[in-house]
Chain A
Amino acid sequence: MINFNYTIWILLLPFLMFIFLGLAGHKYFPRFSGIIGTAGLAIITALSYITAYKYFFLTEKIDAAYQKITAANTVWLQLTDKLHIDIGILLDPISVMMLVVITTVSFMVHIYSLGYMKGEKGFERFFAFLSLFSFSMLGLVLATNIFQMYIFWELVGVSSFLLIGFYYQKPSAVRASKKAFIVTRFADLGFLIGILILSFNTKTFDFITLTDPSGSAIAQGSGIAFLGLSVMTWSMIFVFMGGVGKSAMFPFHIWLPDAMEGPTPVSALIHAATMVVAGVYLVARMFPIYSIAAPVALNVVAYVGAFSSLFAAVIACTQTDIKRVLAYSTMSQIGYMMLALGVSGYGGHDGLGYMASMFHLFTHAMFKALLFLGAGAIIHAVHSNHMTEMGGLRKYLPITHMTFLIACLTIAGIPPLSGFFSKDEILAAAFHHNKLLFAVEYAVAGLTAFYMFRLYFSIFWGKDTHYHHTPHEAPATMTIPLIILAIGAVFAGFIPFNELVTSDGKGFETEIELIVAIPSVLIGLLGIGIAFIMYKKESAIPDKLALTFKYSYKWAYNKFYMDEVYLFVTKKIIFRFISEPVAWFDRHIVDATMNSIANVTQNVSFRIRDFQSGQLQKYAFVFITGAIMLAILFIYLWK
């Protein structure tokens, strides 16, 4: 048995760093806090890699399957004898994989931020928050039970809120941070309800007990029905609602594009690579329950994922803010992962979708972080977010250009880059399960290639824009992470995920199915080709097309008016028809009752306060009068 006790430090170190930088950073070393934070994260990254190596290659397998290991566990809150909330560390293939993803991307983002955030006000605060985020995200993936996951789930929400609102003097950033927090918090309400239903029926929070496919937890609760669905299905749908909020799936996606108000490294770390995939991770974590006890909930996952990916891809084609294009692209790719989970079965080759989803999560983290960091380098050089103000940048930013191109090819699914492999597995899984979903994802693959290369050509080719200052390549602290991530994006596809991360821990054989792979590459190339014609050189085609499809273009450009729908629902319906009557009731009934009680009391006491004159002689008069009356009473009447 290999000793995993040291993994506790993976969790503790970022937390200590947060406290240390948060309390002492500002006062004692505002300059060096970035270095300290990065060094700390380097240690955590090293520990995670060691853990991954030991877990995947040195730990004994039982029945050729990777086992779940509880590396540390302590009872945190004892509710009843059986029901208790623990804090601990659970190692299994997906959590170890997430360790690698989080620490790698986080480490890259730390290095990148050293250059990007240099000289910013609140430099040390930024790194303290990054440490807080790393802590909460690692706690989330290492959670041994669903309640611990929920706690850290909220913590990542808080750190996301803090980092989106990093420029707290900018009203738009403050608005965005509030929006992100409130929307995800609303979705988390569903998560909490789901946890309560689940634990009420299974009498446990523990993941190992819950997700044991032959265990008793799954059998319980699947029988009792409510509105035609089993209780387990309901709880899983509610749990998924939390995932929908955190992963920015339709209809809770509205916070993600606004979250781009945060500093770009934050967008890369939180809103592209790690936190937003927490919803996917959640479904993957509960996957045996979804697959065995709640197939209806799993279908919900699949359709929500498919719809979100299509919806976001269409919007992404019309946006001009490069970070927003990337945000919608993230939403679309996460839709892919959700869909892959939704079409997956449990165990062996049936679990292809599960494996593909985790695979895509891994590769997506690499290339999407790369895209965002590249976008950060571009914004750093041009001082603008809008691609209409860019063009011809390939001459000025050679390294950024190369890495950005690699990332775009990867996300478009061009072999042999990593995106091709993971996307191909997803499409294959969908193809065998549901032809409709496959068709949707197939179209999305083409759209993805189109909008990514629209972005690429508009920024690096297209018209020669005149810049006030000649744009210059970013410093080495920013380009080195780009190069490392680009290497990751190129080669991550060769990691044998089918051996390592599977639904039941056992490896299985996969092969590239040409019937799926060839058309998907072709549609990717088609998307690139269209983008090439339209945006390689300045041309009138895009404007003409926009004019021809005036209304549909306008709808997509305005994000299908989802924000307006939300505003309408909240302001016109909820505020007017629920909040206002409630406020009226509160003001005119509840408050009025209390006020009238107070008024009556005050008036009465105003009248009778003269009795309390403070004049001893008056009291004495009353006392003596009383005494005399009593005397008369006793003498004459009490015979």
Chain B
Amino acid sequence: MNTGIPLQYFLILATVMFFTGVYGFLTRRNLITILMSVELILNSVNINFMAFNRYLFPHKMEGMFFSLFVIAVAASEAAVAIAIIINIYRRFSTINVEDAHEMKY
């Protein structure tokens, strides 16, 4: 079962990906980029699931199933989010989040 790559490497990769995603989510103003950051966060979680499943409970499949679920949900979420973004673009001619504040006050 030893593939030569220690578990910590996976976790470091996932952490870096996660915080990259968080950073992008917080700082970007472009809706598409925000969506991409969210995908990055989700994928870092997927890596964690797979790594823990593989290293800690090699005879079970729950981690894989969860990953599959997350991928499916992420795909549909992306579809919905892009639909919303397109509508926002049609209405405001921009996809900058700070310009879409009609309902704010």
The listed residue (B26, B34, B98, B101) touching A624 by CB distance below 8 A is B26
The listed residue (A614, A617, A620, A621) touching B101 by CB distance below 8 A is A614
Chain A residues positioned under 8 Å from B25 (CB to CB): 617, 620
- Minimum C-beta distance from B57 to chain A (A): 24
> Does chain B have a CB within 8 A of A5?
no
Chain A residues positioned under 8 Å from B26 (CB to CB): 617, 620-621, 624
Chain A residues positioned under 8 Å from B27 (CB to CB): 617
> Does chain B have a CB within 8 A of A78?
no
Chain A residues positioned under 8 Å from B98 (CB to CB): 615
Could you tell me the distance between the alpha carbons of A616 and B26 in the complex, rounded to whole angstroms? Answer: 9
Could you tell me the distance between the alpha carbons of A310 and B104 in the complex, rounded to whole angstroms? Answer: 79
Indicate with 1 or 0, residue by residue over B85-105, a CB within 8 angstroms of chain A CB atoms. Answer: 000000000000110010011
Number of residue pairs spanning A and B whose beta carbons lie under 8 angstroms apart? 16
Indicate with 1 or 0, residue by residue over B18-47, a CB within 8 angstroms of chain A CB atoms. Answer: 000010011100000010000000000000
Q: Are B22 and A614 within 8 A (Cβ)?
A: no
Chain B residues positioned under 8 Å from A616 (CB to CB): 97
Q: Are A624 and B104 within 8 A (Cβ)?
A: no
Q: Are B104 and A614 within 8 A (Cβ)?
A: yes
Chain B residues positioned under 8 Å from A617 (CB to CB): 25-27, 34, 97
> Could you say which of B26, B27, B101, B104 has the most chain A C-beta atoms within 10 Å of its C-beta?
B26
Indicate with 1 or 0, residue by residue over A597-622, a CB within 8 angstroms of chain B CB atoms. Answer: 00000000000000000111100110
Could you tell me the distance between the alpha carbons of A624 and B19 in the complex, rounded to whole angstroms? Answer: 10
Indicate with 1 or 0, residue by residue over A114-149, a CB within 8 angstroms of chain B CB atoms. Answer: 000000000000000000000000000000000000
Chain B residues positioned under 8 Å from A620 (CB to CB): 25-26
Q: Are A624 and B97 within 8 A (Cβ)?
A: no
Chain B residues 28-79 with CB under 8 Å of chain A are: 34
- Minimum C-beta distance from A621 to chain B (A): 5
Could you tell me the distance between the alpha carbons of A624 and B25 in the complex, rounded to whole angstroms? Answer: 11
The DSSP consensus for interface residues of chain B is helix
Chain B residues positioned under 8 Å from A621 (CB to CB): 26
Could you tell me the distance between the alpha carbons of A203 and B105 in the complex, rounded to whole angstroms? Answer: 61
Indicate with 1 or 0, residue by residue over A619-635, a CB within 8 angstroms of chain B CB atoms. Answer: 01100100000000000
Chain A residues 51-104 with CB under 8 Å of chain B are: none
Closest to B29 in A: A617
> Could you say which of A615, A617, A621, A624 has the most chain B C-beta atoms within 10 Å of its C-beta?
A617
Could you tell me the distance between the alpha carbons of A615 and B98 in the complex, rounded to whole angstroms? Answer: 7
Could you tell me the distance between the alpha carbons of A527 and B29 in the complex, rounded to whole angstroms? Answer: 105
Closest to B105 in A: A614
Chain B residues positioned under 8 Å from A615 (CB to CB): 97-98
Could you tell me the distance between the alpha carbons of A617 and B25 in the complex, rounded to whole angstroms? Answer: 7
Could you tell me the distance between the alpha carbons of A615 and B27 in the complex, rounded to whole angstroms? Answer: 11
- Minimum C-beta distance from A77 to chain B (A): 51
Chain A residues positioned under 8 Å from B101 (CB to CB): 614
- Minimum C-beta distance from A590 to chain B (A): 33
Could you tell me the distance between the alpha carbons of A624 and B23 in the complex, rounded to whole angstroms? Answer: 10
Chain A residues positioned under 8 Å from B34 (CB to CB): 617
Could you tell me the distance between the alpha carbons of A172 and B98 in the complex, rounded to whole angstroms? Answer: 66
Chain A residues 17-50 with CB under 8 Å of chain B are: none
Chain A residues 338-352 with CB under 8 Å of chain B are: none
Closest to B98 in A: A615
- Minimum C-beta distance from B81 to chain A (A): 13
Closest to B104 in A: A614
- Minimum C-beta distance from B27 to chain A (A): 8
Closest to B26 in A: A621
Closest to A622 in B: B26
Could you tell me the distance between the alpha carbons of A592 and B19 in the complex, rounded to whole angstroms? Answer: 53
Closest to A613 in B: B104
- Minimum C-beta distance from A630 to chain B (A): 15
Closest to A621 in B: B26
Could you tell me the distance between the alpha carbons of A624 and B101 in the complex, rounded to whole angstroms? Answer: 23
Could you tell me the distance between the alpha carbons of A617 and B105 in the complex, rounded to whole angstroms? Answer: 17
- Minimum C-beta distance from B15 to chain A (A): 12
- Minimum C-beta distance from A635 to chain B (A): 14
- Minimum C-beta distance from A611 to chain B (A): 14
- Minimum C-beta distance from B56 to chain A (A): 20
Chain B residues positioned under 8 Å from A624 (CB to CB): 22, 26
Could you tell me the distance between the alpha carbons of A621 and B26 in the complex, rounded to whole angstroms? Answer: 6
Closest to B101 in A: A614
Could you tell me the distance between the alpha carbons of A616 and B104 in the complex, rounded to whole angstroms? Answer: 11
Could you tell me the distance between the alpha carbons of A616 and B22 in the complex, rounded to whole angstroms? Answer: 13
Chain A residues 458-508 with CB under 8 Å of chain B are: none
Could you tell me the distance between the alpha carbons of A620 and B98 in the complex, rounded to whole angstroms? Answer: 15
Could you tell me the distance between the alpha carbons of A621 and B19 in the complex, rounded to whole angstroms? Answer: 12
Chain A residues positioned under 8 Å from B97 (CB to CB): 615-617
List 16 A-B residue pairs with CB atoms under 8 Å apart, sorted by A's residue number: A614-B101, A614-B104, A614-B105, A615-B97, A615-B98, A616-B97, A617-B25, A617-B26, A617-B27, A617-B34, A617-B97, A620-B25, A620-B26, A621-B26, A624-B22, A624-B26
9 tightest A-B CB contacts, nearest first: A614-B104, A621-B26, A617-B26, A624-B22, A620-B26, A614-B101, A620-B25, A617-B25, A617-B97
Q: Footprint of B on A, CB under 8 Å?
A: 614-617, 620-621, 624
- Given pairs A614-B104, A616-B97, 13 additional interface contacts (CB within 8 A): A614-B101, A614-B105, A615-B97, A615-B98, A617-B25, A617-B26, A617-B27, A617-B34, A617-B97, A620-B25, A620-B26, A624-B22, A624-B26
